Amino acid sequence: MIPSLIPNPLFDYHQLFNLLLPVASLLVAAGLLSVFQRATTVPDQLRGLVQVTAIVALLANFDLAVQTAKTSTQQIVEVELKASPEKLLQKFAGKLMAGDEKPDDGLWSRITRAGTHLFHALLGALIAFIALLAMVFFFLAYLAQELALEMGIALSPILVGFLLLPATRGIGAKFLLYMLAIALFPLGWGAASLVSDSLIDFATRQGLGTNKEVAPALSFAMRNLFGALLLAVWMILSTLYAPYAILSAVTSGVHITADAARATIRYLRS
């Protein structure tokens, strides 16, 4: 799922991270001062010190934590789910060709064989164009994910440091949720790829010319066409909206279908 053309890292985010470390030191000092000002008992002070130590440890290992979350998500998608959005075109073409039955040498079989090849060529061209367009969107979305993760790591001395102060703790917590959601983007693409696999099976289950009667052959052709069009639409929409679905679910606990339902209701009321 990782486009090989994208350099890693995109920029030297460690340089910005190191420049902001003095700010993090000030936030740590302010956090310790806040602990001793608010805590009136020794157990409360110890609890506050443990919290500050945990946040400092998170800040020191934030790059490793983010990269581990991203790598683990990609491994789950590729190894466990066996989802590969970038190989949908090859899957479609292979199953479309494999679904053709070997015709006999009769006249009708020769006619339908020519129709089958032409029809499958048109479907293949359609899916190839849509797959190329989807891969462009996927490349840009993956680039945006990498840039967002690296920028988040670079700014983490400030944003993770916000967890140390009661007044800014909500900002720091929201930042961590957004970073987790961005690292989980491949999970959305992987789930969408599994749906695409089902649509490919539907679109390639029967081919034109697999039956010697005209009506069933046309029926199978319509199944191929409808499945291919549905697959084309799904590839574009899922590539664009899968990251938004993950982001919405992780940061607000709202499923994308709930947002769509509310938007539909507002549209109907208007």
Q: What is the pLDDT of residues 205-231, one digit of tens each?
A: 654 444 444 445 556 667 777 877 888
pLDDT tens readout for residues 23-80: 999 999 999 998 888 878 888 889 989 999 999 999 999 999 999 999 999 888 888 8
| pLDDT given for residue 62 in this prediction | 94
Residues 6 or more apart in contact with residue 89 via CB below 8 angstroms: 127, 128, 131
Joined tokens for residue 251: 């940061």
| pLDDT given for residue 258 in this prediction | 59
pLDDT top residue among 91 and 61: 61
CA distance 229 to 78: 26
Determine what percent of the chain is predicted with pLDDT higher than 70.
74
Buried b (16+ CB within 10 A) or exposed e, 225-243: bebbbebbebbeebbeebb
pLDDT exceeds 50 at position 267: no
What is the Cα Rg of the chain in Å?
Answer: 26
Contact yes or no for 153/255 (Cβ under 8 A): no
pLDDT tens readout for residues 147-162: 999 999 999 999 999 9
Residues 6 or more apart in contact with residue 99 via CB below 8 angstroms: 204, 205, 206, 207, 210
